[in-house]
Amino acid sequence: MRSVHVGIGPVTLSDVVAVGRDGAAVELTEEALVGIARARRVIEDLAAAPTPSYGVSTGFGALATRHIPPERRRDLQRSLVRSHAAGSGPEVEREVVRAMMLLRLSTLATGRTGVRPETAQLLADLLTHGITPVVHEYGSLGCSGDLSPLAHCALALLGEGEVRDSAGVLRPAADALAAAGLAPVELAEKEGLALINGTDGMLGMLLLALHDLRMLLRTADVTTAMSVEAQLGTDRVFAEELQALRPHPGQAASAANLRVLLADSGVVASHRGPDCNRVQDAYSLRCAPQVHGAARDTVEHAAGVAGRELASAIDNPVVLLAADGSGRVESNGNFHGAPVGYVLDFLAIAVADVASMAERRTDRFLDRTRSHGLPPFLADDPGVDSGLMIAQYTQAGIVSELKRLAVPASVDSIPSSAMQEDHVSMGWAAGRKLRRAVDGLTRVLAIEAMAAARAVELRGTLGSTRGVSPSPAAGAVVRLLHEAGVAGPGPDRRLSPEIEACVELVRTGAVLAAAESVVGELG
């Protein structure tokens, strides 16, 4: 099993995917443990001082003016976690919870939060043993960070609440800890606040989405190339000299992919030449690099924001350390989720647009007036058979949903905590809807792949393209779909299992890998 080392520096996107999705173990570095202990000494000095210090010897939020006596401070931390574990609704996905836990641990490891080393170590141990707290869909306003989701994670450190063990079985946290040989902690001053006051949930969802979208946008180039080929479109519009006239980096990369994917296509070659008048393909074909490229550039902008957030130490208050080892605690507003919330919403817009264009390409296959000789609905016996008619309905329904999901969450704010928290980010909600949007894009591309593959096969039996070979990339994807049980042209059959098979091939990157196996790695 891979082990991810968490030190005083940021973890990477690949670390988050490895721990969140692949179940990698987690180890705190010695440097991190030393830094954690150093910050803890600052907290202990402040706790012993007669002057109240926010988060250490006071209440929180609107209750920050109350000084808490030493004998009640452990009660304060425990009460904070218990009361903030107020989520409702369905369970959040395991990969999101694990990503959130890793990111919170990474902030603890910076030595800016003041937790004890044993508390941070137990969080790492939960990840290594595959113990995943139950976190609920609703509860976070994205300010002060993802309070409720993180509180459900912190509750497990106390041996309270419910968790999923490494086998996915729902168990009381105390039982799961005991089975793993772990003991719960009793939180000391500042620790409860340090465990829950961060943007780790929304950031975790952003990082997982970035990982998926980088693959899906290359997959969109693959399905687009198949559609251009099967609809007898031209590849001339993707020429490098044309793309260079508008030098957006994403557009250049997408067009380069399309040139590679369409190379050596017998179908494209069959109508390429001086008499070819196919220079005005529909926008869904001709403008694919412009839309896919804009989406790629949006992803990279979001990745820049994510990189800065990964390098952040987000807590309130934070421990500021001097070179001589002394330190102080200062309140701040770094927990506000606006930077992450904005790009989560921005990505949902790009996802909806890429999917909308893919659905339009699919629809062209089904309309005999626009498909250049393909049978209506790609049906075997049109009238008796409906072909892929309703598969496009499924696509259209998803695209409509994606447009609703593209409405930004981050423009909303509902005041909370007796108006102390009078402006919030809704970043968690933006992350939740982006996850649904990424799933929708996956399904839309899967249906385009199914339609394009069927059309590619039909081209080999029709008119001027009879017996002409498709591009190597399209051929590889067609073979992959057949191997997965997605049959080619023929009489009607139940489509749902074939659609789901295509969805899995797109989701896992198998469609992309099939194309890349013959053309090399796409940009």
Residue given tokens 């039996």 in the structure block: 461
Q: Which two tokens stand for residue 18?
A: 């490895």
- pLDDT reported for residue 71: 83
pLDDT of residue 421: 86
Q: What is the pLDDT of residue 468?
A: 84
What own/partner pairs with CB < 8 Å and gap ≥ 24 does 169-176 have?
170/134, 173/131, 173/133, 176/131
Angle between helices 338-366 and 200-230 (to 10 degrees): 20
What is the pLDDT, as a whole number, of residue 53? Answer: 81
Residue 26 three-state SS: strand
Local mean pLDDT, 10-residue blocks, the chain (523 residues)? 94 98 98 96 89 78 76 89 97 98 98 97 98 97 92 98 98 98 96 95 98 98 97 94 98 98 88 67 96 98 98 94 86 94 98 98 96 95 97 98 98 90 94 98 98 96 84 97 97 98 98 98 97
Amino acid letter, residue 468: V
Tell me how crowded residue 61 is: count the other CB atoms within 10 A of its CB.
13
Sign of the torsion formed by the C-alpha atoms of 59, 63, 68 and 72? negative
**What's the pLDDT at 353?**
98
Per annotation, catalytic residue among 54, 283, 342, 393: 54
Beta-carbon contacts of 395 under 8 Å, excluding residues fewer than 6 positions away, are 358, 359, 362, 443, 444, 447, 448
Annotated catalytic residue 138: no
The one-letter code for the residue type at 511 is: V
- The DSSP bridge pattern shows strands 25-28 and 3-6 to be parallel
pLDDT at 505: 98
Query: Looking at residue 51, what is its pLDDT?
Result: 82
CA–CA gap between residue 340 and residue 336 (Å, rounded)? 9
Looking at residue 254, what is its pLDDT? 98
Global pTM reads: 0.96
- DSSP assignment of 185-229 equals ----TTHHHHHH-SSHHHHHHHHHHHHHHHHHHHHHHHHHHHHHH
